[in-house]
Structure 1
Amino acid sequence: MLTVDKIEVRQGPFDVTKAGALGGSINVVTKKPHKGFHGEILGKGGSYDFWSSGFYVTGGNNKVQGLIGYNYSESDQYEDGEGNKLYSFAPGGRPYYAEGKDMKAFEKQDVWGKLQLTPTENQTILLSHTYGDAEDIMAPRVAWDIESEKTNLTSAEYLITELGNCSDRLTLSIYRNKIEHNPYDKYRELVGDPPFHRHNDVESTITGGKIENKQSTNFAAFTYGIDMYKRNWKGDMYRDDTGAIFDDELIPDVDTYDYGVYVKADKAFDKWSLGAGLRYDRFETEANETLKQSSAVTSTNKNTDDLPSGYLSARYYVTDNSHIFGGIGRSIRTPTSVERYLQSPSPFFHGNPDLDPTKNTEFDIGFEMTGERYSLKVKGFYSDLDDYIYQQGKKTAASHQTWTNIDAHLYGADVKAIIDIVSDLSLEAAASYQRGRKDSQPDENNDKDLAQIPPLKTRLALHYDHSDFFGTLEWIHLEEADDIDIDAGETRLSGWNVVNLRAGYRYKQHLTLNIGIENIFDEHYAVANSYEWDVVGGSGATPAQQFPL
């Protein structure tokens, strides 16, 4: 976490400043350069020969500040609660060679730098670049591992404040992110078809920009802006023995364009705090290569979607320390390039160019209160999903394995309470529950339960924090997973209980030592179901292969 300053989580469809925030948004804020000179050195070690080490330093004067950092991490193969290593979860058609059984789980290194210029008190220019290089990443659930994955993340931001009545804060930003992803099956035995080794070259590049202005008026505080991005995603599959292309349209050179405009307003008066937002996106996708598999069911290779979204929210303060909150919103999730245009080597496994974006209409309501020694938050939601994007399995010789649109709904609730027992000791309790049901069915699927919905989860934690020493002892419980989509390949999972311990010591504000034990009693459990396919090989997920710990 050397790069991360904070993580902002916004639940529900109440953020119009970002495209595609269907059920919420997560904003990872990275550390910025500072004047003076300081830094941090971090070293971590753990089970299965996991270790990670890195550093960052930052410094500068009032006009120029810089930051540079580096981190390296690696690990041997993890084991589940019964001692099974990662390699044992490989599918039957592609088990590991002896060399693969002894390989590391991953190796990864990252380097990043930032330059911040402050020409005047109200102007800031921030330039940043991050490079990541990961090698030999095990992916035993599917038939491929990752030979290498390279990431280049570049951005520039210009911020100017106090421009007068029309602008409190104006931000102009641009970015370009490129990922090179290279799966291969070098360490797998050729038990099933095809009878030769393969590798993929997959590349995704996204370039975009944003102009945003914040303005305070006597009526309300406004935020408005425009944003756009272009994404290209392409991938080909090759034979290792001859070097020939085995599938030159795996991801058929797909261009995606999104043009968005938004405005939101926030107003507080008396005991009320109100919010409203509107957004409009024009979303265009096109496959620039022949859709050799999906052309059997549709001639579509280009799509344009006009997507309005927005929200209304309110908060009423019952007392100075308690309030009721609620809101209704509509948000959009657009299909990915894989979901619309994937062309696998199999004529019966491909994307669906006719997919519509998912529309989420959600209502949230809750209550929150705080006291000198306690806090409590309770929230419930109901979500209606139109054109929810869902996988459609191949159940007959003539059917196609693809993605489709269905209608569905979700509902749930969560609660969290914290009580200070004594000055340095506090107790935290939390629970969350949700349920998903289909209102229409994919072909060859009659199960009404929605896939990938976790069962009831509870957490009880004891926190201690006294000057130099701190620690947390937590118990996590997950109910049995039985509201599952059996027709999509999910299976019932037993409930489980896990106890974790984390503790630390701070020495004179310059050194912090952390230790932790996850799953103290070595319980054997499966975290979650998954029906996600291997989009390279077209295989369905075997839920029993979800890594038990």
Structure 2
Amino acid sequence: MGLISPWALATDDKPGQTLPPIVVTATMQDSPLTVITDPKAPRQPVPASDGADFLKSIPGFAVIRKGGSNGDPLLRGMAGSRLNILIDGGQIGGGCPSRMDPPTAYISPSLFDKVTIIKGPQTVLYGPGNSAGTILFEREFSRYAQPAWSFNGSVLGGSWGRNDQQFDLHAGTPDVYLAVSGNHTQSQDYEDGDGRRVHSSYDRWNTDITLGWTPNDDTRLELTVGKGDGQAAYAFSGMDGAKFLRESVALKFEQRHLTPVFDKLEAQVYYNYANHVMDNYTLRRPDPDSMMPMAMASDLDRKTVGGRVAATCLWGNAWQWVVGADASSNVHTGRNGGPPGNRMYYGDQPRVRDARIGSVGLFEELRWTMAQHQRLISGLRVDRAQARGYGLAMASMTDSMGGMNHGMGMPAPRTVDASRAAVLPSGFVRYEQDLSGTPATFYAGIGHVQRFPDYWELVGQHATKSQAAFSALKPEKTTQLDIGLQYDDQQLKAWVSAYYGVVSNFIMLNYGQGMMARSYASNINARIAGGEAGASYAFSKRWQGDATLAYAWGENRSQHRPLPQQPPLELRLGLTYDTGNWSAGALWRLASAQHRYALGQGNIIGQDLGPTNGFGVFALNAGYRLSEHLTLSAGIDNVFNKTYAEHVNAANAELAGYVNTVRVNEPGRTAWAKLQLKL
């Protein structure tokens, strides 16, 4: 769990290795609070177009749908910077002040070898603020024993013009290796179960190149550069995403087995740039009856630089200690204007900086094998976080009296820059016990995380953007108990995990209602609870069933009402028949009604829109191994063409010519097929 070397698994596949024809319908928890899954494997619903699309197939996750792509993920009802999302160890932040481009919008899962999810505040190794969990999108490389190469590629086609192409080429010698990967994914507008069109088309591509040097078995120096871009139509917004430019550079160094005690040294620096353009004319026509009757555009960008250094020490078989430091800093700018050819073309306008946010942290994580079947894992972390806001409205008397002017719609006549900083401690301790005589592990852990307010909470679209609000919003403090049981034998794999947390200064967004109302962020006290469970049982060599259950609950203790943005109870039932050469399967997903909501309240990714009814959707899939290296998989999602929408959702923007329900409806019956080649 974060202590395993990234060299542990290889990507230079051995001759004769074949692809399984199984379509993934349920992802199981691999070890206490940890899920590890293969993002290249075919899965149902239709294989993912971005990071959030991928995560929604994992129990405990939900995604706010905004269109066909670029949704925003939640884990256990928590979203935004409560989820620490890293790509190859680096952070990337979106540009849109209203989260049109969350970090997952810049992630193509099929370009990575492994995705690891660590639930709750149960690690301190990967940066600050991970109260909900940590998500690692990782690539893996090993030293080649001799010159070799491998290839993994796929093509996918589906309903509404869905077409994907993906490739991953690796080659190397004992001294150097090269990896080139890329993908393209595209879809037209989909239709809901009633055949009504949803504004949801997208077209995106990504490519990454990695060059590595391995002069011996213990040394690795690696450089990765990447770029991507795309467009996405949105049903929830008055604008669409006309540009999602990503530029990434990362340099990593690793040295192992320095001494019998000093086992490993890791160092990394990275640069991630996101440039996002949203407009109302590239993927739609300006609506003369809307709030934006003329062609308009907004160009936002964020530059993130960071680094990390960590050392791993071993004392016999009993102690493993990781100690290190990390830092990151990002600057956000924006500019507005009209389309090309307009005298106010946005590309000719100067960029205006509105925020600079950064942190520096020290961490240590200790693993003590107390006895053969007992382990104690603990960690401590301290961060110094700081932020500077630019062009903030001057504090007024009504601000100091509790924000009475939030709904007045009257901007302050003068602006000012302001800075703030805080020292934030975090830590956890977890006990694991392998139960005698059984392949089962019991665990219990308690963690505490302090999270600094993020860009969207301080100066985003739904923040007050005043000096008083910028300075007054307190860091969030989460203390959470996690407890569970893991069971794994040849026939049955099962797990259950539960949590209970107390959150002081929970940062909640209050969405303004009405034309002149303003949104604002505030601190409340909250309680959260819930859990996940899953089981996979092999009835015979060919038949296997699986089931997962997830539930999240939250209470706003300050106002004695439900905490907003909590997904309902969800159950997934799957059945698979597999002969080794071909497979067939079914997935039945059931979500209960949700009557616990807080109208007009939410987080940085959305607000509660009212109660929702329960629903059930059924899906079928099949796979066939055409040859040793070629596999065909296919599926039909929402077989019965049900019209439904998720409870955690975005409000429809009421676009002319499209369906205008309260929430953005999910796709109707969707067919897809994927051909995968692995050499």
In structure 2, distance between residues paired with 1:503 and 1:388: 45
Shift of 1:382: 0.3
2:116 — aligned with what? 8
- Whether contact under 8 Å (2:510, 2:600) holds in the other structure is no
In structure 1, distance between residues paired with 2:258 and 2:463: 57
User: TM-score, structure 1 length as denominator?
Assistant: 0.88
2:280 — aligned with what? 185
1:28 equivalent among 137, 153, 160: 137
Q: Which amino acid in structure 1 is aligned with residue 185 of structure 2?
A: S
1:427 equivalent among 528, 532, 545: 545
Shift of 1:165: 3.5
For the pair 1:273 / 2:375, whether they are aligned, the reply is yes
2:298 equivalent among 170, 195, 200: 200
- Whether contact under 8 Å (1:32, 1:67) holds in the other structure is no
Matches for 1:252-263 after TM superposition, within 5 Å: 252-263=353-364
Q: Which has the higher contact order (CA 8 A, sep 6+)?
A: 2
2:610 — aligned with what? 491
- Whether contact under 8 Å (1:531, 1:543) holds in the other structure is no
For the pair 1:282 / 2:378, whether they are aligned, the reply is no
Shift of 1:263: 0.4
Structure 2 vs 1, CA of residues 58 and 368 (structure 1 numbering), >3 Å: closer, same or farther? closer
- Whether contact under 8 Å (1:234, 1:250) holds in the other structure is yes
2:250 — aligned with what? 155
- Whether contact under 8 Å (2:547, 2:571) holds in the other structure is yes
* Deviation per residue, 1:431-481 (Å, 9 max, x gap): 12221110114xxxxx70111111111111112232211333111100011
1:41 equivalent among 153, 162, 179: 153
Shift of 1:388: 1.2
In structure 2, distance between residues paired with 1:191 and 1:184: 16
For the pair 1:476 / 2:613, whether they are aligned, the reply is no
In structure 1, distance between residues paired with 2:490 and 2:150: 36
Structure 2 vs 1, CA of residues 293 and 482 (structure 1 numbering), >3 Å: closer, same or farther? farther
For the pair 1:236 / 2:335, whether they are aligned, the reply is yes
Shift of 1:322: 1.7
1:18 — aligned with what? 126
2:480 — aligned with what? 362
Shift of 1:381: 0.8
- Whether contact under 8 Å (1:209, 1:229) holds in the other structure is yes
1:383 equivalent among 501, 518, 522: 501
For the pair 1:520 / 2:639, whether they are aligned, the reply is yes
Shift of 1:316: 1.6
Structure 2 vs 1, CA of residues 206 and 294 (structure 1 numbering), >3 Å: closer, same or farther? farther
Q: Which amino acid in structure 1 is aligned with residue 301 of structure 2?
A: E
Q: How many residues align?
A: 518
For the pair 1:465 / 2:578, whether they are aligned, the reply is yes
2:624 — aligned with what? 505
- Whether contact under 8 Å (2:254, 2:265) holds in the other structure is yes
Q: Mark the runs of 5 or more structure 2 residues left unpaired by the alignment.
A: 1-39, 41-109, 401-415, 602-607, 654-659, 668-679
In structure 2, distance between residues paired with 1:179 and 1:413: 34
Structure 2 vs 1, CA of residues 406 and 383 (structure 1 numbering), >3 Å: closer, same or farther? same
Shift of 1:370: 2.8
Structure 2 vs 1, CA of residues 397 and 128 (structure 1 numbering), >3 Å: closer, same or farther? closer
Q: Secondary structure at 2:195's aligned position in 1?
A: coil
Shift of 1:412: 1.0
1:451 equivalent among 557, 564, 577: 564
For the pair 1:121 / 2:233, whether they are aligned, the reply is no
User: TM-score, structure 2 length as denominator?
Assistant: 0.72
- Whether contact under 8 Å (1:343, 1:349) holds in the other structure is no
In structure 1, distance between residues paired with 2:493 and 2:425: 37
Q: Which amino acid in structure 2 is aligned with residue 76 of structure 1?
A: Q
- Whether contact under 8 Å (2:111, 2:183) holds in the other structure is no
Structure 2 vs 1, CA of residues 127 and 462 (structure 1 numbering), >3 Å: closer, same or farther? same
Shift of 1:352: 4.1
Structure 2 vs 1, CA of residues 300 and 112 (structure 1 numbering), >3 Å: closer, same or farther? closer
Which piece of structure 1 moves more, 371-380 or 415-424? 371-380
More strand as a share of residues? 1
2:420 — aligned with what? 303
Shift of 1:112: 1.4
1:176 — aligned with what? 271
Structure 2 vs 1, CA of residues 231 and 53 (structure 1 numbering), >3 Å: closer, same or farther? same
- Whether contact under 8 Å (1:251, 1:337) holds in the other structure is no
Structure 2 vs 1, CA of residues 486 and 316 (structure 1 numbering), >3 Å: closer, same or farther? same
